[in-house]
Amino acid sequence: MDSVTALSTKEPSHQPIECNKPTVICLPSDPDNDDFGIELTGGCHSYMGEVCVCKVYTDSVSYRDGRLKRGDVLLSVNGKSMKKCSLEEARSAVANSPHTLQLVVRRDPDPLTLFTSIEEPKIFITVELWRTHINEPLGISLMERKDVGVFVTWMVS
């Protein structure tokens, strides 16, 4: 039994998240949001190598709980390790949670480092994206890091 599995069997009442320490968060089901109000990014196939919280939506159970923040790393979902999970597998694990969502998360001291690579860019390309309707999504997510630049965090292929 690894430390994440051992930790995930305990259920603290409302333990705050401390940096670099696995923390259990239990969220009740939300009939309006099968994603519990969190948007995930990363995954084992991304440069980040981990699944992490990209956004916590207001008026969601996650927002009302008040502990999850952008950059928190998901170590497990309902006892299933996220270590080798793709983004799709992690999203599915959250969405298919029966009643209560149990997360084990870790907070890094500087979560912005998760969203950037230390590698120097080798290829630069210019693209034009066209939409047929103003409300149509572009299928791309960008993130700006101050004094570093703009990064593509994910794309729909």
Position 38 pLDDT exceeds 90: yes
* Confidence label for 73 from pLDDT (cuts 50, 70 and 90): very high
- Is 53 inside a domain boundary? yes
String of b and e for 8-27 (b: at least 16 CB within 10 Å)?
Answer: beeeeeeeebeeeebbbbeb
- Is 93 inside a domain boundary? yes
Q: Distances from the Cα of 20 to the Cαs of 4, 55, 108, 136, 145, in angstroms?
A: 13, 20, 6, 39, 22
CATH of the domain at 70: 2.30.42.10
- Is 2 inside a domain boundary? no
- Is 87 inside a domain boundary? yes
Position 118 pLDDT exceeds 90: no
Greater model confidence, 16 or 103: 103
Q: What is the mean pLDDT of residues 104-128?
A: 70
User: In this prediction, what percent of the chain has a pLDDT beyond 90?
Assistant: 36
Position 145 pLDDT exceeds 70: no
Do 103 and 114 meet the contact criterion of CB atoms below 8 Å apart? Answer: no
Q: How many domains does the structure of the chain reveal?
A: 1
- Is 91 inside a domain boundary? yes
- Is 50 inside a domain boundary? yes
Q: Which domain holds residue 66?
A: 13-107
Which of 16-25, 37-46, 69-78 has maximum average pLDDT?
69-78
- Is 98 inside a domain boundary? yes
Position 9 pLDDT exceeds 90: no
* Confidence label for 136 from pLDDT (cuts 50, 70 and 90): confident
pTM of the model: 0.65
Q: What is the mean pLDDT of residues 20-35?
A: 85
Greater model confidence, 89 or 115: 89
Instruction: Return mean pLDDT, the chain.
Output: 80
- Is 84 inside a domain boundary? yes
* Confidence label for 85 from pLDDT (cuts 50, 70 and 90): very high
Q: Quick one: which of 68, 72, 84 has its CA closest to 114?
A: 72
What's the confidence (pLDDT) of residue 12? 47
